[in-house]
Amino acid sequence: MNKFLHNLGVPSDWEVCDIFGFGPDELAIVPRPVASVIMLFPYNDAYKQRKNEEELQLKDKGQEVSDDIYFVKQYVHNACGTMALIHSVANNRDKIQLEDGILKRFLDEGQNMSPSDRGEMLTKAEDIINTHREIAIEGQTQYKQRKNEEELKLKGKGQQVSDDIYYIKQYVHNACGTMALIHSVANNRDKIQLEDGILKRFLDEGQNMSPSDRGEMLTKAEDIINTHREIAIEGQTQPPDPEDMIPYHFVAFVCKDGCLYELDGLKFDPINYGPTTPDSLLEDTVSLIQEKYVVQDPDNIYFTLLALSKCY
């Protein structure tokens, strides 16, 4: 995210950093000032229902939205991370002095446009879209390069691996979460007393196999695969294709004219959540997220928070 921002012309002293928790100790270590809070969460039925109910309520009752809010409708598929960054920077130009470049030109050109027209303009902003793609591809390339370098290094120097390690090669697409859980349990059977069932049978059967053979066995373990799929689609009206990536969504929260706004390009308008200050933006946003997202979707643990902060 930071390389993308800096390539667009955001000064290098502004960076996106992790927020490690909701408590005061975790929030205290976030660099200040905080220009925006960015949230990543599953794009699921709970979100869609909340979005529809919110839209009906606000269209009925109305809300006050500052004329200074820079809002962009999202029409580009899989660009919510880019949208959150654009919203974060566009609504903090009094703090963030943009260098001449891609983002400054885009924001200046769209200054007097409607949110819909800005969204249409973004669909044609090849410089922003290409920068997004280059960074995304680079990240994938770096992982593969790091993996290959690590493999060559270890094959050259060697390493000591315990004979008791239960390791499985992954051959099932989109099953890395399942793999992590199996590895976690399989290597702690002295602590975790498994009940007779699917996982115990799988681990026992693969006990004396090679990692590759265990991986091949997992590709045919219909009971584990079906359990994985059932849990993945639980609560969804339309089961996803197993080959599809799980969808997630980014939104940004900013302080503008003394109010806390949620900026989500898939929603009909910015959402005004009431008073805040630049100094209390982080704490107020975390409280809002706990109330509006965490409490209303208690079974979902997949929330990630980031802050766009000035790092001296």
| CATH code of residue 106 | 3.40.532.10
Question: What is the structure's pLDDT at 146?
Answer: 60
Which of these three, 205, 221, 244, is where a domain ends? Answer: 244
Please give the Cα distance from 254 to 238 (Å, whole number). 33
271 domain residue, yes or no: yes
Residue of 80, 228, 255, 259 marked active site: 80
98 domain residue, yes or no: yes
Is the same domain home to 6 and 126? yes
Phi first, then psi, for residue 246 (nearest 5°) are -65, 130
Is the same domain home to 268 and 239? no
Is residue 311 flagged as an active site residue? no
Helix, strand, coil distribution of the chain in percent, nearest 5 = 45, 15, 40
Question: What is the structure's pLDDT at 79?
Answer: 87
Phi first, then psi, for residue 51 (nearest 5°) are -60, -45
171 in Cβ contact with 216 (< 8 Å): yes
31 domain residue, yes or no: yes
Give the burial class of 51: count Cβ atoms within 10 A of its Cβ; 0-12 exposed, 13-18 middle, 19 or more buried.
middle
Is the same domain home to 104 and 199? no
Is the same domain home to 188 and 80? no
22 in Cβ contact with 290 (< 8 Å): yes
Question: What is the structure's pLDDT at 77?
Answer: 84
pTM over 0.95: no
pLDDT in tens, 60-82: 999 999 999 999 999 988 889 99
284 in Cβ contact with 276 (< 8 Å): yes
Residue 123 structural domain: 2-133+247-310
Please give the Cα distance from 215 to 168 (Å, whole number). 5
Q: Where do we find the tokens 């339309």?
A: 238
Which of these three, 227, 244, 261, is where a domain ends? Answer: 244
130 in Cβ contact with 137 (< 8 Å): no
Residues of the chain with pLDDT under 70: 136-149, 174, 228-246, 296-301
Which of these three, 244, 266, 293, is where a domain ends? Answer: 244
Please give the Cα distance from 85 to 79 (Å, whole number). 10
Residue of 87, 228, 249, 259 marked active site: 249
Is residue 249 flagged as an active site residue? yes
Which three-class secondary structure state does DSSP give residue 298?
coil
Q: Nearest Cα to 169, choosing from 206, 213, 207?
A: 213
